[in-house]
Amino acid sequence: MQADVAQLAERLIRNQQVTGSIPVVGSSNLFMEETEVFTLLGEAGFARLTAAFYRQIPQDDILGPMYPAADLEGAEQRLRNFLIFRFGGPARYIEQRGHPRLRQRHFRFPITQAARDRWILLMMRAIETSELPDEAAQCLSRFFAETATFLINQSESVSAPGAAPPQTLRWH
Ligand code: HEM
């Protein structure tokens, strides 16, 4: 168990450094090695997943307008490379885009609870249609749920004219 705890600590630190996300301690598969996901899915699995996600974007009423219509292929590639890197594959994302700084990179998009929930809905459908192995699907689902919540940067309520802007969490 000692070794497991040391491994866990290392994984949590890496998770925080790379995604800026706050790890949730107490989840059921704490000791699952995330880097194994790439071994299970390979490039092809991640390609199926991100293609299934982006296929739904253009017609989505909340998310569609946020994404670059003229460069959806590029956007798909950025997400794919990020996930491949994050889950144990080649570090193309870092080479091309640098440190992920996901929260910072998402500030320019209005991410409300509703937008977060829609993103997750589309991603859960994508996981289902991509027919990923259960273990990998679970690991990815947990990561997406936590990270998407962390990226919320706006409250739903529309402020009255002259009212103070909604509070957003900023850490840079
Ligand atoms: C919570 C709801 C979310 C919304 C509304 C959202 C929206 C967006 C949009 C509009 C882009 C720009 C597309 C592009 O040109 O690259 C983007 C980029 C990106 N998103 Fe999200 N996103 C969300 C959640 C997530 C989550 C959970 C992840 C983690 C897997 C993620 C990872 C990324 C990455 C890696 C990029 C590319 C960043 C870059 O290198 O510029 N997003 N997102």
Ligand 1 centre to CA of 10 (Å) is 25
Residues 12 and 33: their CA atoms lie apart, in Å, by 11
Ligand 1 centroid – CA 61 distance (Å): 16
What confidence category does residue 10 fall into, taking pLDDT thresholds of 50, 70 and 90?
low
Residue 39 CA, ligand 1 centroid: distance in Å: 24
Q: Say what the pTM is.
A: 0.80
Are 153 and 106 in contact by the 8 Å Cβ rule? The answer is yes
Q: Which of 62, 71, 83, 102 to mutate to test the pocket of ligand 1 (most atoms within 8 A of CB)?
A: 102
In angstroms, what is the span from residue 157 Cα to ligand 1's centroid?
Answer: 23
Q: Which residues of 20-37 are buried (b: 16+ CB within 10 A; e: fewer)?
A: bbebeeeeeeeebebeeb
Q: Is-contact 34 12, C-beta < 8 A?
A: no
Contacts of 163 (CB under 8 A, 6+ apart): none
The pLDDT score that the predictor gives to residue 33 is 82
pLDDT at 4 over 80: no
Q: What is the DSSP letter of 161?
A: T
Site to probe by mutation for ligand 1, drawn from 18, 49, 97, 151 as the one with most ligand atoms within 8 Å of Cβ, is 151
Of 171 and 46, the structure prediction assigns the larger pLDDT to 46
- Give the distance (Å) from ligand 1 centre to CA of residue 153: 13
In the chain the domains, ranked by start, together with CATH numbers, are 33-150 (1.10.490.10)
pLDDT in tens, 91-126: 999 999 999 999 999 999 999 999 999 999 999 999
Query: Which residue reads 């998310």 in tokens?
Result: 63
* Contact yes or no for 103/147 (Cβ under 8 A): no
